[in-house]
Amino acid sequence: MPATDALRQPSRTLVITATAVPLALAVLADDVRVRRQLHAARRDPLSGLPGREALLAYGDRLLRTGRRDQVHLMLLDGNGFKAVNDTHGHAAGDAVIATTGRRLAAWTKRRQAVAARLGGDEFAVAAVLPARTALADITALREQLHQPLTHDGRTLHMTVSLGIARAADLPGEDTGRLLRAADAAMYRVKAGEAFPCLATYADAYADTVNGRRAGRTGAHLPAA
């Protein structure tokens, strides 16, 4: 290599690096802006989280980025929530929903992620998680949600069933399809399958009744 070319090479590397840093910062700033818009939009007053439409919009946005293969959709459903309501009253059930919302918000705040309340004691999370840490991150979230809480002098114990759909396992599918897959995986956990339960293509195309997975509570009800 001529001496002049050798001298130019380091400066070219510096230019590339200097260009990459602002680009990465711009992507991060854009994600923060979008999440602020979601939180400023209509939120569930009990959990403090946005709803299904916000989750789907944010998830589809993540799927259009260069980090698509790191996108995870998680669907979480409480275990024993009805028993809490029946035994301790609806105020206790509300406390469980509010605490779950705060814990999910705290977990997503430190990540490129958004959590939403889908209804009742059902929540979902769309997140970008590197493959090397994804399982540890999701396990940590599950453990946080399993921590007891205190309401009106009583200790309430709650656990969640959690299904996981990875975009890398479902190439070309949108957030709605990933959510359906995570829902089916979550119900396999409720039926006794061990955590972590990863969704498959069959889960993504599971039959639904009135927009619900066949067998899900309310699937037998007439469509509104």
If phi > 0 it is left, if psi is from -120 to 50 it is alpha, else beta; for residue 88 that is: alpha
pLDDT at 24: 47
State the amino acid at position 137 in one-letter form.
Answer: D
pLDDT of residue 214: 57
Below-50 pLDDT ranges, the chain? 3-4, 6-8, 16, 24, 210, 218-224
Report the C-alpha gap between 91 and 96 in whole angstroms: 9
183: three-class secondary structure by DSSP: helix
- The backbone torsions φ and ψ at residue 34, rounded to the nearest 5 degrees and listed phi first, read -65, -40
Active-site annotation, residues:
121
The per-residue pLDDT for 136 is: 97
pLDDT at 199: 97
Question: What is the Cα–Cα distance from 77 to 35, expressed in whole angstroms?
Answer: 23
Q: What is the DSSP string of 61-93?
A: HHHTSTTGGGEEEEEEEEESHHHHHHHH-HHHH
**Would you state the pLDDT for residue 36?**
60
For position 43, what pLDDT does the model report? 87
